[in-house]
Amino acid sequence: MTLRLAAILISGALVLAGCAGAPNDNMRNTGSDNTGVYQQDSPEFFVHQVGDRVHFAVDQSTLSAEAMSILDAQAAWLGQNGEFSALIEGHADEQGTREYNLALGARRAAAAKDYLVSKGVAGGRLRTISYGKERPIEICSTEDCWSRNRRAVTVVSAGSS
């Protein structure tokens, strides 16, 4: 349990490190993933082609139209790749207190999960966790960074979640 989870987090961190500050189109031309082509049934495809995250307004957990379209794509991919399960991480920006942000992140992760379930993904394949404000991906203290930290990230892995 602990080992497997650590592996998920590390791969997540690598992906995030590769993404930091660079649009996906640019990133595909650099680094080890320079082919720009991913196996359709790979977590990398899910991250870069499907889109692994949705964003939220300040202190909100309602899904925007853009978020719903990303989750539609996630649901379709999960439908085609039944051997994958997912851990949905809810996050908040730094502009809140610690406990409240944990609860808010839980709400955001649940909003994404509920939407995926409504699109036919079996609830048993989806787990949620909240990191509150503990794991920002952007570190500046402006709305530009905060808006990217208010997120629910779907981390897929082969096997049961």
Partner 1 sequence: MRPLALFQTLAIAAFATGLPGILPAQSTGPLRIEITEGVIEPMPFAVPAFVAEDSGARALVEDITAVVVADLVGSGIFREIPRNAHISGISNFDSPVQFSDWKAVNAQALITGAVSLKANGQIAVKFRLFDVFAQAPLGEGLQFAGQRDDWRRMAHKVADAVYSRLTGESGYFDSRVVFVSETGPKDARRKRLAIMDYDGANVRNLTDDNAIVLAPRFSPDGQSVLYTSYETGMPRVFQLDLATMRRHAFDEQPGMTFAPRYSPDGRTVLMSLSEDGNTDIYSADLAGGSRVRLTSAPSIETAPSYAPDGRQIVFESDRGGSQQLYIMPAGGGEARRISFGAGRYGTPVWSPRGDLIAFTKIYNGRFHIGVMRIDGSEERLLTASFLDEAPTWSPNGRVLMFFRETRGVNGAPSLYSVDITGRNLKRVPTPGYASDPSWSGLLR
Binding site residues, partner 1, CB under 8 A: 1-2, 5, 13, 59, 61, 94-100, 102-104, 106-111, 113-114, 128-131, 134-141
- From the list 152, 155, 143, 154, the residue with the least C-alpha distance to 63 is 152
C-alpha distance from residue 78 to each of 83, 104, 141, 157 (Å)? 8, 25, 35, 11
Q: In the complex, what is the shortest distance from the CB of residue 45 to partner 1, in angstroms, rounded to a whole number?
A: 25
Compare residues 58 and 158 and give the one whose CB is closer to partner 1. 58
CB of 133 to partner 1, least distance (A): 10
Residue 39 or 144: the one with the smaller Cβ distance to partner 1 is 144
CA distance 145 to 137: 8
- Residue 98 CB, shortest distance to partner 1, in Å, is 6
In the chain, the N- to C-terminal Cα span, in Å, equals: 10
Residue closer to partner 1 by CB (options 53, 107) is: 107
CB of 140 to partner 1, least distance (A): 6
Q: Which of 42/138 has CB closer to partner 1?
A: 138
Q: 46 to each of 27, 122, 128, how far by Cα in Å?
A: 15, 18, 18
